[in-house]
Amino acid sequence: MSYTAFAQERENNRNRFQKDVGPFEPLPHFKEEDNDLKSAALRFIHNRCEKLNFDPKKEKIEKKENIFLGNSTKAKQIPFNMEMDINRLCLERELESFIDSGIAEDAYNIYYCFLEMFFGHYGKSKKMVELLSEFESNGSSLLMKHRDHYSHSVYVFTLGLAIYETNQYFRDCFNSYYNLDKEEASAFFLKYWGMTSLFHDIGYPFELPFEQVLSYFEVDNRQRGKDLLYLAYKNSNNFSLLSEEERLHFHKLYQKDFSSSDELFSYDIVKKIGKDYECHFKQLVQTIRNKPSAPEKFDYHMDHAYFSANRLYRELVESFGIDQIKEIHIDVLTAIILHNSLYKFAIAFYKDEEKHKRPLAMEDHPLAFLLFLCDELQCWDRTAYGRNSRTELHPMSAEFDFSNNSIKAIYYYDREEKEKIDEFEREYREWKENGKQGKMPRLKAYSDMAEKGQRFVKDIESIVDTSHIPLNIRPSIAKADRTKKHTYLSNSNFLHLYDFAVALNARYNYQGREKYVEGSQLEAEFEMLSLEYQLSNINQAKSFSKYLDELGCFYTDKPVDYPMISSFTKKLIRIIAPMEHERWIREHQSMGWTYGTDYETLASDKEESKMLREQFRQHKLAMDIGCTKKDIVAHYNKLPLEEKVKDYEPFNSMLKLIKKFDGLRIYELD
């Protein structure tokens, strides 16, 4: 039994009503014996993370006072631990969706789940993650070289879950390093690996402007940075300065005085690997301090990892309070600050034959080890933004096998690019036949995997010790399948997704009063919902691009020369409604809802009926698993007319709300 609170509530309901009314544990969407990326990652969440975020104290209060402390559509409708189980199921299902699609909108849901589950409030932290996506999608096309880091970070997160699930040596090493017992280990890993992987690149908005300035001159093929304008960040000392309260807190933790995060991070790094890597505190502090303010010392490169670590540190303090920051949080931050260039070029010198130190072992710093490994492996399915990056050849997908404590991976390249591959292989063959004279031909990632030297694997092996997790990597060619990306005409600033969902949630409550309502009020109402219902609104918002495509319409936040729709007609609603009904049915099936009306017949009034519906996870409009699309259409056609068109006016209310608060407009193509 993986979702134990479901089982407990089902037993309670059976005793209470003398009838098996649910809730029923949702079936897993993977095979227990499979060790591919999707199966391993989902199995970790499903099987290893039992009782995630459970609160025994709240459970005792519920039993003693005969109340519920968990939220659903409203506060205190279900047991608290049941809400925690539903949250974990949300993460499992949303991760499945992301692995299937790889798109940024589905990556967004993983961030949303994680922040709600482990930070407690998405709204406070949303700028931290949304701005990364916005900077990349809007500013990266000005660069010479740049690829996606938003979906990339969720892929890195997924790889780490799969490795922990399948690699016994790493799992034992991690658990031993943090002295974890079996019951707490997986939840601990999920929380702190999530912080490390999902936020390791949030500092890119600091690096992108630096690269944009350099790219302006690089188009003339001039030497990078030398004798040209470049950016540096002033007042960086203030960025890393610790308050008096923070200094006192870390003195209690480490019995050392630190004036800045630069010193704190340096101390933790030296404590872990200083001896073996001949890494000294004062020298490392100076190196880290120079990162934002003296890029000329680093061959004119700005290190986003420095900003990622410091930005996340501030978020942790604001979210939890300085008194809740522990050594494990500093481990997260030092893994992040090390991951880009600090470890590779200032500590391990992994490409310098004379100064090169040994690869990082799992036992040195498990979070850093895993971040280095997964960050290097995740090179597939990354949107290319930079001018040169868009013309290079990168793997479009990858297939992993994590069996036998090893990693076997096939990276697939688009068959449409075979001409480039054939040309490279011809040049490479001629280069070898001519005694390897001159510069070796390269074709970005493909050549690093295909050529005999296996540069891709060798580089990873120079960074981390793979003796307990051997790599077997090869490239292949396949036909591109872009249907899973669900690309439609509708397009908007990525920040709109949350606001769109808030407006959807409010569409029933403010008909005719839209101009009087405040955005903060709508957001407060949205945040009262459980994670499951928030995600339902978000997923409906994401589906609107599909619905509008069917109508020959699209939405955008930019003024365009097309007729604008100010309201939906009944004819348009009749097209949207069946599509939304199918989405709703599939969503409820995935989340373990079943068909039933017991919540109505066993309730004494309407309010109790709503509570029992959430406790049973039963709905009179739900359908059991196994139904086809044809079955769902027939089910919709049998609904009463008032049920079919009930969203007519509320949808028009939503249009007014998103226009007011979100700046989105809907247009017709014809």
Give the tens place of pLDDT for each residue, 250-292. 999 999 999 999 999 999 999 999 999 999 999 999 999 999 9
In the three-class reduction of DSSP (H, G, I as helix; E, B as strand; rest coil), residue 17 is classed as helix
Sign of the dihedral through C-alpha 23, 26, 32, 35: negative
Q: Do 609 and 603 contact (CB within 8 A), yes or no?
A: yes
In the three-class reduction of DSSP (H, G, I as helix; E, B as strand; rest coil), residue 572 is classed as helix
d(CA 385, CA 387): 7
**DSSP at 228:** S
Both 358 and 381 in one domain: the answer is: yes
Quote the crossing angle between the two packed helices 182-198 and 104-114, to the nearest 10°: 130
- Within a 10 A sphere around the Cβ of 363, how many other Cβ atoms? 14
Total residue count of the chain as it appears in this document: 670
Q: Which of 465, 485, 505 is the last residue of a domain?
A: 485
Examine residue 21 and state whether it is found in any structural domain, yes or no.
no
Which domain covers residue 542, as residue numbers? Answer: 488-670
| Dmax (CA) of the chain | 88
d(CA 374, CA 355): 25
Examine residue 271 and state whether it is found in any structural domain, yes or no.
yes
d(CA 476, CA 449): 10
Both 190 and 272 in one domain: the answer is: yes
| Structure-token match 């009063």, residue found | 513
Q: What is the mean pLDDT for each group of 10 consecutive residues in the chain (670 residues)?
A: 91 96 92 95 96 96 96 96 98 96 90 92 69 60 58 96 98 98 94 97 87 71 73 88 98 97 98 95 97 93 95 93 97 97 94 90 98 95 56 85 97 90 88 85 84 87 97 92 71 66 77 71 88 93 85 84 84 84 94 96 95 97 92 91 67 71 77
Both 591 and 513 in one domain: the answer is: yes
Both 322 and 460 in one domain: the answer is: no
Q: What pLDDT score does 66 carry? A: 95
The type of residue at 217 is F
Q: Which of 458, 485, 512 is the last residue of a domain?
A: 485
d(CA 4, CA 428): 57
d(CA 532, CA 534): 6
Both 580 and 629 in one domain: the answer is: yes
Both 509 and 619 in one domain: the answer is: yes
Encode pLDDT of 495-554 as tens digits.
567 877 887 787 767 666 667 677 778 888 888 999 999 999 999 888 888 888 888 888
d(CA 128, CA 108): 12
Both 309 and 421 in one domain: the answer is: no
* Beta bridge pairs of residue 474: 410
Examine residue 589 and state whether it is found in any structural domain, yes or no.
yes
Q: Residues near 668 by Cβ (< 8 Å), separated by ≥ 6?
A: 552, 553, 562, 563, 564, 565
**b/e sequence 126-162, b meaning 16+ C-beta within 10 Å:** bebbbbbbebbbebbebbbbbbbbbbbbbbbbbbbbb
- Within a 10 A sphere around the Cβ of 355, how many other Cβ atoms? 11
Q: What pLDDT score does 238 carry? A: 85
Examine residue 421 and state whether it is found in any structural domain, yes or no.
yes
Both 272 and 420 in one domain: the answer is: no
d(CA 478, CA 473): 16
Both 154 and 299 in one domain: the answer is: yes
Q: Residues near 353 by Cβ (< 8 Å), separated by ≥ 6?
A: none
Tokens standing for 669?
A: 């193509």
Q: Tally the domains of the chain.
A: 3
Tokens standing for 40?
A: 């391993």
Q: Which of 451, 470, 485 is the last residue of a domain?
A: 485
Both 337 and 474 in one domain: the answer is: no
Q: Residues near 584 by Cβ (< 8 Å), separated by ≥ 6?
A: 621
Q: Do 273 and 360 contact (CB within 8 A), yes or no?
A: yes
Examine residue 219 and state whether it is found in any structural domain, yes or no.
yes
In the three-class reduction of DSSP (H, G, I as helix; E, B as strand; rest coil), residue 360 is classed as strand
Q: What pLDDT score does 589 carry? A: 95
**DSSP at 645:** S
Examine residue 51 and state whether it is found in any structural domain, yes or no.
no
Examine residue 64 and state whether it is found in any structural domain, yes or no.
no
Q: What pLDDT score does 545 carry? A: 84
d(CA 42, CA 93): 8
Q: Do 208 and 135 contact (CB within 8 A), yes or no?
A: yes
Both 342 and 459 in one domain: the answer is: no
Q: What pLDDT score does 135 carry? A: 64
Helix, strand, coil in percent for the chain, rounding step 5:
60, 5, 35
Could you check whether the bond before residue 640 is cis, i.e. omega within 30 degrees of 0? no
d(CA 126, CA 665): 23
Q: What pLDDT score does 446 carry? A: 86
Both 574 and 632 in one domain: the answer is: yes
Q: Do 383 and 151 contact (CB within 8 A), yes or no?
A: yes
- The burial class, CB within 10 Å (0-12 / 13-18 / 19+), for 15 is exposed
- With left for phi above 0 and alpha for psi between -120 and 50, is residue 477 left, alpha or beta? beta
Examine residue 52 and state whether it is found in any structural domain, yes or no.
no
Of 398, 381, 422, 413, nearest to 472 (Cα)? 398
